[in-house]
Amino acid sequence: MSDKLANLRNIGIAAHIDAGKTTTTERILFYAGRVHRIGEVHEGAATMDYMEQEQERGITITSAATTCEWGLDLTADGMRRIPSHTINIIDTPGHVDFTVEVERSLRVLDGVIAVFCAVGGVQPQSETVWRQANRYAVPRVAYVNKMDRDGANFYEVLGQVKDRLGANAVALQIPIGAEIDFKGIVDLVAMKAVYYIESKDFGSTYEIQDIPADLQDKADEYRAMLIEAVAETDDALMEKFFGGEELTIEEIEGGIRKATIRNDMVPVICGSSYKNKGVQPMLDAVIKYLPSPLEVPAVVGLNPDTGESATRQASESEPFSALAFKIISDKFGTLTFFRVYSGRLQKGSYVLNPGKNKKERVSRILKMHANKREDVDFVVAGDIAAAVGLEATVTGDTLSDDKNPILLENINFADPVIFQAIEAKSKNDEDKLTNALVKLGTEDPTFKVRTDAETGQTIIGGMGELHLEIMVDRMRREYNVEANIGKPQVAYREAITKRVDNLVYKHVKQTGGSGQFAHIEINVMPTVEKEDGTRANYEFESKIVGGVVPREFWSSVEKGAKSAMERGVLAGYPLVNVRVELVHGSYHEVDSNAMTFEIAGNYGMQEAVRKAKPVILEPIMNIEVVTPENYMGDIIGDLSSRRGKIVEMRPDKGGSQIVRAHVPLAEMFGYATTMRSMSQGRATYSMEPSHYEPVPSNIQEDILSKGKEAIGAKK
Ligand code: GDP
């Protein structure tokens, strides 16, 4: 049992779009013996890309979980690996409109292969994913792919992983040749050269030889750096190293493993997935250096009955606990992907969804191999599988043993930055549209749907234009609904800029005999930025002393204040980053109750916010444009006219220039078309939400005068 767990790896392959994640995954599945033909991405046959439109767009939108086997030892004929380890691969998307997918897969992974393009190197979106992985402390191995391409430079990418991502990146290999002459790798641990034979068997055949003479110096140099880095991981190794003794292979690998799992080191390897070079050593690295479920911290949650903290070790003998991280509805029904943290789940049994306090029956359990499904009778700690039969469970929910409930921390999902009105093209399709929206919303928690109270319109919200475009596309393909959509609207927010102390609010009503009374005094102020750069959306604290407002009413005041956050005082956009302190007040024996204090909290908050210099905030996007030099002036001029601030300009390889800028989302609609025509199709760009900023005052006036028709505002 613990052997099985020790030999299990739950990993993800994270990459900037086009770095080669799909190709790499294909090769892994091929070498691991589960697919028999390599499907090239450009033929649209990649095994992982099972959604039709993903193939057309060539981007992997949805995380699929795939299981395969690998081992370090060879069969007697030396032709194959003896399977000793199970590797679950969670596919993560490269496009930042889908960071939520990255985020949720990082939650259930134990390690990541970060794929970089040997030409493009570290891209801004790789930085985003890297930061997310840092947040979840996920150990990583970096794989520099596409070593066969013109302009491939392993050493430069290695440097970028150090400088731009701030990682303790340590090369475990160096390439033999580059570009068209890329032949294989030098293994710096074994100090051997591995040559791949280009033939029909997709690089399954390789030869191990001595390091070529012209690479010996370089290999020695990088080996020395590796050994030093390993020595730093452990006092005993350090002593041996300073004593001038050679470290054994076991010591080196053990040191790398320890440091990688502690997040103190990122081993860097290289290859060309497309040319079938270097993929097997990457799988070896997964086994050697990435953690098993036993080597990651035990999962922590709350006991929903007692409110006390609870822990589950990765062990089959603990009570069952799991996290649902992905829901896919298709014509076969709903599949709920989940990771088991502890215990065992038998098919046909009931599980508790403690967040919803519902019991659900798991009618079938499936292990997924891309679009092939294998029925299994049970799953245990560490496993990743899909359940059939769950109805109430949505992405992010905990599943647990009903006698030993535990509620794991929900996955954090970002709020939408963009809204669009949507309606069915024909009256007959209205029900179908509603059904499709509900289903898509269950699958993707960043896809939000609501009805505008005033206009009755249905509004969808998401992480960017592309995100909503894809959702509308899926509605058409998977649910057969044609829809009309309105113009994209920015999701503005409101915030306060100043502190207001001791705002007095009295709710007093005298109607006939009985009356209503509540008196509060509150302070409001912007919340303080935390160490990790985030800020609380809302904080409440009661500083009441001596019972001038009885304790039982504090939560009523808080409830009222919180409901005032839903609708800002300027244009009705949600209010963010406010701290409220209840400091004083009074009550009446008969006329005060929970309701009167809730009303006081709500109106008091509104009045305080009005005095606290409220402003409208807009989402600012982080955009990076890669353009040939001669269009640079136009691109920059255009970005400036969109209220953009240029953050960085630097030359790329091959004469291109890279421009990074912060631009308000409101100015970026339709940018793809403009940029294409400005550069005759030669410039490319990527964009991600960066942060929120107050809008300039002239634009604020604009928004306020149009406020009524603004879609993002709640009326
Ligand atoms: P993804 O977007 O990260 O999934 O990347 P893909 O696997 O779809 O690869 C993007 C493109 O790069 C495809 O046309 C691949 O054929 C190509 N590609 C992937 N790996 C390599 C490689 O090692 N060398 C070369 N030359 N091309 C590659």
pLDDT score, position 708: 46
Identify the three-state secondary structure at position 492: coil
* Beta-strand relationship, 140-145 and 266-270: parallel
Confidence band for 335, pLDDT divided at 50, 70 and 90: confident
- Residues 103-135 pLDDT 10s: 777 888 999 999 999 998 987 667 777 877 887
- Whole-number pLDDT of residue 239: 92
Residues 6+ positions from 492 with CB-CB distance below 8 Å = 571, 573, 616, 617, 618, 695, 703, 710, 712, 713
Q: How far apart are CA 29 and CA 23, in angstroms?
A: 10
Residue of 16, 28, 41, 154 with the most ligand 1 atoms within 8 Å of its CB, for mutation: 41
β-strands 140-145, 372-376: how paired?
unpaired
Atom of ligand 1 nearest to the CA of 25: 7
Ligand 1 midpoint to CA 18 (Å):
6
User: Is the C-beta atom of 149 inside 6 A of ligand 1?
Assistant: yes
Ligand 1 binding pocket includes 521 (Cβ within 6 Å): no
Q: What is the pLDDT of residue 671?
A: 87
Q: Which two tokens stand for residue 651?
A: 């030359």
Between 332 and 686, the higher pLDDT residue: 686
Q: Measured from the CA of 149, which atom of ligand 1 is nearest?
A: 26
676 pLDDT tier (thresholds 50, 70, 90): confident
CA distance 472 to 668: 20
Q: Which residues of 492-513 are buried (b: 16+ CB within 10 A; e: fewer)?
A: bbbbbeeebeebebebeeeeee
The percentage of residues in the chain with a pLDDT greater than 90, rounded to a whole number, is: 53
> Cα of 159 to ligand 1 centre, how many Å?
22
- Confidence tier at 68 by pLDDT (50, 70, 90): confident
Contact 115, 145 (CB under 8 A): yes
Nearest alpha carbon, ligand 1 atom 22: 146
The answer, yes or no, to whether any atom of ligand 1 lies below 6 A from the CB of 46, is no
Q: Please tell me if the CB atom of residue 18 comes closer than 6 angstroms to any atom of ligand 1.
A: yes
Mutate to test the pocket of ligand 1, among 13, 21, 22, 23 (most ligand atoms within 8 A of CB): 23
Q: What are phi and psi of 239, to 5 degrees?
A: -60, -45
Cβ of 273 below 6 Å from ligand 1:
yes
672 pLDDT band, cuts 50/70/90, is: confident
Residue in this structure with the two tokens 């690996």, named with its chain if needed: 81
Ligand 1 centre to CA of 314 (Å) is: 36
User: 274 CB less than 6 Å from ligand 1?
Assistant: yes
Average pLDDT, the chain: 86
DSSP letters along 168-234, please? -EEESEEEES-GGG--EEEETTTTEEEEE--STTTT--EEEEPPPGGGHHHHHHHHHHHHHHHHTT-
Helix (H, G, I), strand (E, B) or coil at 396: coil
- Choosing from 17, 18, 26, 181 the residue with most ligand 1 atoms within 8 A of its CB, the one to mutate for a pocket test is 18
Q: How much is the pLDDT for 451?
A: 87
DSSP letters for 684-715: EEEEEEEEEEEPPHHHHHHHHHHGGG-TTS--
Q: Ligand 1: distance of its center to the CA of 274 in Å? A: 7
Task: Give the Cβ contact number of residue 560 at 10 Å.
Answer: 27
Which segment of 136-140, 154-158, 522-526, 684-688 scores lowest on mean pLDDT? 684-688
Length of the chain: 715
- Model pTM greater than 0.85? no
Q: What is the DSSP letter of 553?
A: G
Residue 15 CA: which ligand 1 atom is closest?
A: 3
Residue with tokens 């496009």: 95
Rounded to whole angstroms, the Cα distance separating 541 from 558 reads 8
Mean pLDDT across 516-535: 88
What order of strands is seen across the sheet that includes strand 321-330?
Answer: 358-361, 350-353, 398-400, 321-330, 333-342, 384-388, 364-369, 372-376
Tell whether the model's pLDDT for residue 51 goes beyond 70.
Answer: no
Q: Which atom of ligand 1 is nearest to the CA of 275?
A: 23
**Sorting pLDDT into bands at 50, 70 and 90, what band is 99?**
low
Is-contact 324 399, C-beta < 8 A? Answer: yes
* 198-229 pLDDT, tens digit each: 765 555 678 899 999 999 999 999 999 999 99
- Torsional sign, CA 413, 418, 421, 424: negative
